[in-house]
């Protein structure tokens, strides 16, 4: 790659300080956006949904596990799926230990169209601790913005009622994953062809380098 200018430490610090001003502006803009998101109107969920979990049938209320807030990730695992989505896999790898969300009265759960037996086999293979339910016989995905793809929905319980508060998908999911965020800090970035990077930076087509964490070539994992 064509490396940026080689600088003295003082020159680097001056350039870093100038970039920090922009980073702080972006941080404040994110904070303002989050504040606006918290004030989105709520929609009451009046339809009954049946989920199939490891221990039998569950309602949407059950998914909260007694907490007030619920984040649902719609994973693309399908019945008899020969190639589970690597992007979904990378995102769930990034979620981390559930205790941190639980401490703020929030449950994280996954749903998929695959039957619960196949979900559980794959969950054990990936080593994920998060509760995961089948919506194979439910319209839950379609009713909340997810058809053949993936997405993330947020719900809250109040006074015995459940409300839908937020939805995101596509690159909105990327923003929640620390692999992408960490790579954005490096000189090579994500190394994908769409990125604006110094000439000669190694780049490949987007998405194609993503794999399930146990499927990367030997020597790279």
The domain tally of the chain equals 1
> Across the 221 residues of the chain, what is the mean pLDDT of every consecutive 10-residue run?
87 96 97 95 97 96 97 98 95 95 97 98 97 97 95 97 97 91 92 92 92 88 65
pLDDT at 5: 86
- From residue 15, alpha-carbon distances to 7, 9, 19 in Å are 10, 10, 6
Residue 73 lies in a domain: yes
Residue 161 lies in a domain: yes
Q: What's the CATH number where 54 sits?
A: 3.40.30.10
127: domain range? 43-174
**pTM > 0.75: yes or no:** yes
Contact 85, 91 (CB under 8 A): no
């Amino acid at each position: 790659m064509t490396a940026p200018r080689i600088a003295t430490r003082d020159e680097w610090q001056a350039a870093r300080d100038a970039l920090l001003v922009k980073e702080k502006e972006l941080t404040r803009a994110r904070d303002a956006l989050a504040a606006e998101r918290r004030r989105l109107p709520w929609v009451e969920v009046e339809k009954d949904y049946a989920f199939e979990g490891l221990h039998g049938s569950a309602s949407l209320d059950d998914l909260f596990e007694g907490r007030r807030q619920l984040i649902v990730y719609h994973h693309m695992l399908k019945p008899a799926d020969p190639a589970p989505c690597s992007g979904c896999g990378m995102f769930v790898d990034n979620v981390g230990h559930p205790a941190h969300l639980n401490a703020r009265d929030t449950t994280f759960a996954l749903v998929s169209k695959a039957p619960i037996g196949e979900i559980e086999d794959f969950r054990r293979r990936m080593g994920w601790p998060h509760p995961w339910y089948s919506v194979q016989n439910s319209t839950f995905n379609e009713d909340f913005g997810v058809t053949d793809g993936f997405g993330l929905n947020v719900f809250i319980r109040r006074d015995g009622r459940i409300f839908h508060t937020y939805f995101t998908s596509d690159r909105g999911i990327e923003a929640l994953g620390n692999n992408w965020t960490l790579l954005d800090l490096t000189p090579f970035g994500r190394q994908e062809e769409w990125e604006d990077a110094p000439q000669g930076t190694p780049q490949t087509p987007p998405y194609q380098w993503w794999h399930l964490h146990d499927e990367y070539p030997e020597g790279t994992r």
